[in-house]
Amino acid sequence: MNYAGRIARLRAATGVSGRTAFVVTRLDSVAYFCGFTGSFGDLVVADDRAVLATDGRYALRARTEPVGVEAYIGWQGRELLPEVLSSLGFRFPATALIEAEGLPLPRWERLQRCCPAGWMLEACAGLVDPMRAVKDADEIALLRKACAITDAAWCDVQPELAPGRTERSIARRIAELQLDHGADEWAHLIVASGPNAAMPHHTPTDRVLQGGDLLKVDIGAKYGGYCSDLTRTVIIGEPTDLQCRMYDAVYRGQMAACAAMRAGATGEGVDRAARSIIREAGFGDYYTHNLGHGLGRVKEPPHIVAGSVFEAGNVVTIEPGVYIEGVGGVRIEDLGVVTDAGFERLSLAPKPPSLAGPGAI
Q: Percent of the chain beyond pLDDT 70? A: 100
Secondary structure E strands in the chain: 20-24, 42-45, 50-55, 70-74, 94-99, 119-124, 185-193, 213-223, 226-227, 230-236, 294-295, 299-300, 315-318, 321-324, 328-331, 334-338, 343-345
Q: Could you give the count of Cα atoms lying within 13 Å of 88 in the half-sphere of its Cβ?
A: 35
What interhelical angle do 27-34 and 3-14 show, nearest 10? 120
Architecture of the domain delimited by 3-132? 3-Layer(aba) Sandwich (3.40)
pLDDT attached to residue 102: 83
Q: Give the start-to-end residue ranges of the domains of the chain.
A: 3-132, 134-345
Statement: residue 308 has pLDDT above 80: yes
Handedness of CA 68, 72, 77, 82 (dihedral sign): negative
CB atoms within 10 A of CB 170: 20
The crossing angle, in degrees rounded to 10, of helices 241-260 and 267-280 is 160
Q: What is the mean pLDDT of residues 275-299?
A: 97
Rg of the chain, C-alpha, whole Å: 23
- Looking at domain 134-345, which of 3.90.230.10, 3.30.390.30, 3.40.1360.10, 3.40.50.720 is its CATH number? 3.90.230.10
Instruction: Count Cβ atoms below 10 Å from residue 123 Cβ, excluding itself.
Output: 14
Measured distance CA(152)–CA(132) in Å, rounded: 27
pTM: 0.94
Task: Tell me how far apart the alpha carbons of residues 126 and 102 are, in angstroms, rounded to a whole number.
Answer: 12
Q: Is it the case that residue 153 has pLDDT exceeding 80? A: yes
pLDDT of residue 16: 80
**Residue 206 backbone zone (phi > 0: left; psi -120 to 50: alpha; other: beta):** alpha
CA distance 89 to 108: 23
- pLDDT reported for residue 361: 63
User: What percent of the chain stands above pLDDT 90?
Assistant: 86
pLDDT mean across residues, the chain:
95
Q: How far apart are CA 214 and CA 210, in angstroms?
A: 9
Q: How far apart are CA 258 and CA 318, in angstroms?
A: 7
Res. 6: pLDDT tops 80: yes
- Average pLDDT for residues 167-176, to the nearest whole number? 98
Neighbours of 29 (CB within 10 A): 23
Query: Average pLDDT in the 129-140 region?
Result: 96
CA 304 remoteness from chain centre: 13
